[in-house]
Amino acid sequence: MRHWLVYSILFIICLSCSNEPSGSNTYVPTPSPLQIPQVFEDNILAPIIPVNNIQTEEGIILGKKLFFDTILSENNTQACASCHNPGNAFTDPARFSVGIDGSIGTRNSMPLFNMAWNYDKKFFWDGRVFSLEHQALEPVTNPIEMNNSWETVITRLQNHSEYPKLFEEAFGTTPITKELVTKALAQFERILISANSKFDRYLLEEATLTPQEENGLNVFMDETKGDCFHCHGNPNNPLWTDNLFHNNGLDAVFTDIGLGEITGDPADNGKFKSPSLRNLIFTAPYMHDGRFNSLEEVINHYSEGLQDSPTIDPLMKKVDEGGVHLSDSDKADLKAFLLSLSDPSFINNPAFNNQ
């Protein structure tokens, strides 16, 4: 008889140990933790997931639908995917993306992948937004992008035949808010993981590099040649970016001052976030203003096209000669190596595409 008492106390204590809200009628969506690729697991810190927006199956489904839906734009013509197209590793092939009314911005769209590993959580070319959740607030109301108001978006979603149910499944609440929209978008964006390039398989000893790619890696890693690794990662940091801000010598006089606009510090003028070098085969044109159409142009820039300015990064060498002047064969090998960082399985992943 007393056993019963002891066991029920035991049960209560077990319950009180956990931090979960108790009560069986609270709806909990299905957790769906990020699948961390081996090359990241082996080498770098865990991804950053905000505690108040954990990944769930229902949240990701909703986020994906929103990402591909033109309902977010004022005249129902543009989705996030219009400028962030899966086939282009979630950027677009235009130099400057075109907004809903044909207006043209001044920045090249950015590819979207591995964003949960952007540890400082600074997004955009100039780092002006902190966290993915906040980032997604911007394009919807940006006049040269979706040019909408959040009130309109919420009303449309609320009156939609499917969305109210999807929001309820994802977050367990009925009123749709812009915060929930951005949370869902962020959940979808976090699953956009690219870690299956030829070079990743080489790191896992499942592929071998050609002699060209191997020499290209050496050019990349050699401080007297490319010296790319100080800013763009290395085989032990397979993000292939430092996610930090630098002036890589594009201009002597800036038309866009980048980070300087955000911090107000002239020492930051002309600095932009180092992009990842993954998936370059799909992401042309290159740089914050899409000025280079090919990797040859990018490599020639670093090799002999450097422009001096007060904030140019100290790692840019022989600036008075335009750069270190790589040999033609080193340039070709460097390009071959860079292409080994591209990951076709990423653009073809059905989980990331609109069906």
Partner 1 sequence: MKKILALALLTFLSFSCSEDNGNNSNEDVSATFSFSHNWDGAEVNNTEFNTIQFTNANGEQMSIEKLRYLISNIRLEKADGETLYTSGHFLVDVTNDVNLVFQPYTAIPKGDYTNVIFTFGFNTEDNYSQTYTDLNAASWNVPDMLGGGYHYMQLEGKFIDNTDTETGYAYHAIRAVDNSDPIGLLFQDTFIDVELGPVSISKDLTFNIDMNIAEWFKNPNLWDLNTLHNMMMPNFNAQITMFQNGQNVFSLNEITE
Where do contacts with partner 1 occur on this chain (CB under 8 A)?
2-3, 6-7, 9-10, 13-14, 16-17, 42-45, 117, 119, 218, 221-224, 227, 229-231, 233-237, 239, 242, 265, 267, 310, 312-317, 319-320
Other CB atoms within a 10 A radius of the CB of residue 161 amount to 6
CA distances from 85 to 88, 240, 282 (A): 5, 21, 10
Using CB atoms within 10 Å of the CB of residue 108, give its burial: 0 to 12 exposed, 13 to 18 middle, 19+ buried.
buried
Alpha carbon distance 273, 205 (integer Å): 31
Residue from the set 83, 176, 180, 259 that interacts with ligand HEC by CB under 6 A:
83
For ligand HEC, the closer of residues 204 and 214 by Cβ is: 214
Using CB atoms within 10 Å of the CB of residue 314, give its burial: 0 to 12 exposed, 13 to 18 middle, 19+ buried.
exposed
Report the nearest approach of ligand HEC to the CB of residue 248 (Å). Answer: 4
Report the nearest approach of ligand HEC to the CB of residue 21 (Å). Answer: 30
Residue from the set 228, 281, 339, 347 that interacts with ligand HEC by CB under 6 A:
228
Residue from the set 60, 61, 157, 280 that interacts with ligand HEC by CB under 6 A:
280
Report the nearest approach of ligand HEC to the CB of residue 173 (Å). Answer: 21
Q: Are 270 and 257 in contact (CB under 8 A)?
A: yes
Is residue 248 close enough to count as binding ligand HEC by CB under 6 A?
yes
Applying the rule CB under 6 A, the residues between 103 and 122 that interact with ligand HEC are 105, 107, 109-110, 112, 115
CA angle 118, 124, 125 (to 5 degrees): 105
DSSP label at residue 254: -
97 binds, among partner 1, ligand HEC, none (CB under 5 to 8 A by kind): ligand HEC
CA angle 72, 55, 114 (to 5 degrees): 80
Identify the residue whose tokens are 């697991």. Answer: 41
Q: Are 116 and 126 in contact (CB under 8 A)?
A: no
**Can you say whether the dihedral through the CA atoms of 324, 327, 333, 336 is positive or negative?**
positive
CA dihedral 120→293→107→80, nearest 10 degrees, is -80
Contact code string over 187-226 relative to ligand HEC, x by CB under 6 A: --x------------------------------------x
Residue from the set 40, 125, 199, 202 that interacts with ligand HEC by CB under 6 A:
125
- 272-273 vs 245-246, strand pairing mode: antiparallel
Residue from the set 164, 230, 309, 317 that interacts with ligand HEC by CB under 6 A:
230
312 binds, among partner 1, ligand HEC, none (CB under 5 to 8 A by kind): partner 1
DSSP label at residue 101: T
Closest Cα partner for 274 from 230, 330, 325? 230
80 binds, among partner 1, ligand HEC, none (CB under 5 to 8 A by kind): ligand HEC
314 binds, among ligand HEC, partner 1, none (CB under 5 to 8 A by kind): partner 1
Tell me which residues touch ligand HEC (CB under 6 A): 72, 78, 80, 82-84, 97, 99, 105, 107, 109-110, 112, 115, 123-126, 132, 135-136, 139-140, 145-146, 185, 189, 226-228, 230-232, 246, 248, 250, 272, 274-275, 277, 280, 283, 286-288, 298-299, 302, 313, 315, 334
